[in-house]
Structure 1
Amino acid sequence: MLTPQGLKGKQFRITGTSYPRLGPPPRRGRRVLMVVGSLLALALIALGGVQVVDIFTGKAKHGAAQACASAHPSGHPAAAGKPLAAPSPGAPASGSAPAGAGASAAPSALGSPLPGVTAAPQPQTVTVNVLNSTDKAGLAKNTADELKKRGFTVGKVGNAPSALQKKVPGSAVLVAGQSGAGGAALLGAQVAGASTMADQRTDGSVDFVIGDGYTALLDPTAAASALAEALKPSPTPSPVPGSC
């Protein structure tokens, strides 16, 4: 061992089996942080274990079911009516209802939408009133003759009421009561772009109101395909996990 000159080496000689500590002594704060971190890690592990147990035991599904039940007190989700088609933008909102199958006037105050149907009646059981709301002469008669060839029972043929004149921009508007929903679906398949409206009549007659966009009826093959597509039940969407 080297010692400074002039000093006795024995006074600075290291003896024994242990060496002096060369680094700073450990701080107490570090130990406290390590203990706190360990406790937090254990708490997170315990929380994760509880959630895994809940998933496998079905407690989460039970809680979701209770939430859905509280959202719908009756126990069943609210069901909305399914209209056959949206009302035409130019169709009026009110008018007088026809008194019978052979008479027709402007649609009455609209009630609930026409219900969806999965079956259509035979054409001969449907009485249709063909009304022309355009300024093109002869449309109502020609359309009525074609519908008669297809088996429909034709009622009134003529001009539409003044409340509908030149106010149907689409191809046609089919107006019927709740009992005429099937007939409206059958007639709606005969013309492309037709819409339906519900009024307060109690019979099964249907008003075929020709609009400005009308040109002709679909050919029978295309009409049959359109009817089959319209009668298909709407698919029920699969519930999203966690939703009511």
Structure 2
Amino acid sequence: MSMLTPPGMGGKYRITGDKFPRMRRPRNRRRTILAVVASLMALGMAGWGTLQLIEVFGGGKKTTAAGRGQGCPKAATPSAPVRNAALPKPAKIKVNVYNATKRGGLAKETADELKKRGFTIGKVGNAPPLYDKKVKGTGILLGAPKAVSGVLPVLGTQLKGAVQKADGRKGTDVDLILGNGFKSLTTKKDADKALAALARPAPAPSVKC
């Protein structure tokens, strides 16, 4: 009888040999399934995190089918400056000078100075009742609607602060109505600078990415 056989037992219960039987715990199938599912979830989260990092450090640019980014080009060609419409020369502008103040002789003095600067002078005198003694600023420039984009801005370089307005006239002449705030025309030097800046091409708008 083997030493492994319990006392009092024999026959078919007798254990032979000199090794202990291996006792294995039954495998838990549920734990195995949970472990596999957890592994798959961990792999999925790791892949998603990797894609997020690539998007962040890659600047978030989407790629086209050709694999190129849709951001700004590396070397953008600067746009050509936008040319302003041709401005009329002072000699082509006929100015009527009116005095809306109480100071006498102001219209004639101003008209003479404008003539020296190359403008063509039309009527000179007191302002019409609609504006007489009613202009508080330096002056008002009046002209036809089409004069707003060219003629009035050119004349406006001679009198800083003058208000530019369009009325219903059909002629090409314009009115300069001197107001109570008028002291003198802009100096010729400053007026020439303003006129040169007005004729200078405007820069093209830059492209923002």
Deviation at 1:196, TM superposition (A): 1.7
CA 1:58–1:166: 2 relative to 1, 3 Å = farther
- Equivalent pairs counted in the alignment come to 167
Letter of the 1:184 counterpart:
L
Distance 2:135 2:84 in 1: 25
TM-score (norm 2): 0.62
CA 1:141–1:52: 2 relative to 1, 3 Å = closer
| Pair 1:32 & 2:33 matched | no
Q: Helix, strand or coil: the match of 1:54?
A: coil
**Larger Cα Rg: Structure 1 or Structure 2?**
2
The aligned counterpart of 1:144 is: 111
The aligned counterpart of 1:198 is: 166
Deviation at 1:167, TM superposition (A): 4.2
Deviation at 1:143, TM superposition (A): 0.9
The aligned counterpart of 1:215 is: 183
Distance 1:33 1:169 in 2: 83
Deviation at 1:224, TM superposition (A): 0.9
Letter of the 1:139 counterpart:
L
Q: Helix, strand or coil: the match of 1:156?
A: strand
Q: Helix, strand or coil: the match of 2:64?
A: helix
Distance 2:151 2:121 in 1: 13
Letter of the 1:161 counterpart:
P
Q: Helix, strand or coil: the match of 1:128?
A: strand
Deviation at 1:215, TM superposition (A): 0.9
Q: Helix, strand or coil: the match of 1:174?
A: strand
Letter of the 2:40 counterpart:
V
CA 1:218–1:178: 2 relative to 1, 3 Å = same
Where structure 1 has 5 or more consecutive residues not aligned to the other structure, the ranges are 1-14, 19-25, 62-115
Identity of aligned residues (%): 36
CA 1:189–1:31: 2 relative to 1, 3 Å = same
Deviation at 1:162, TM superposition (A): 2.9
Q: How does 1:48-59 map to 2 (within 5 A)?
A: 53-54=63-64, 57=67
Letter of the 2:94 counterpart:
T
Two-structure CA RMSD over aligned residues (Å) = 3.7
Q: Helix, strand or coil: the match of 1:41?
A: helix
Where structure 2 has 5 or more consecutive residues not aligned to the other structure, the ranges are 1-18, 23-30, 72-82
For residues 53-106 of structure 1, the C-alpha deviation after alignment (integer angstroms, 9 at most, x for no partner) is 439645847xxxxxxxxxxxxxxxxxxxxxxxxxxxxxxxxxxxxxxxxxxxxx
**Contact 2:97 2:122 survives alignment (8 Å):** yes
Runs of 4+ deviating beyond 6 Å:
none
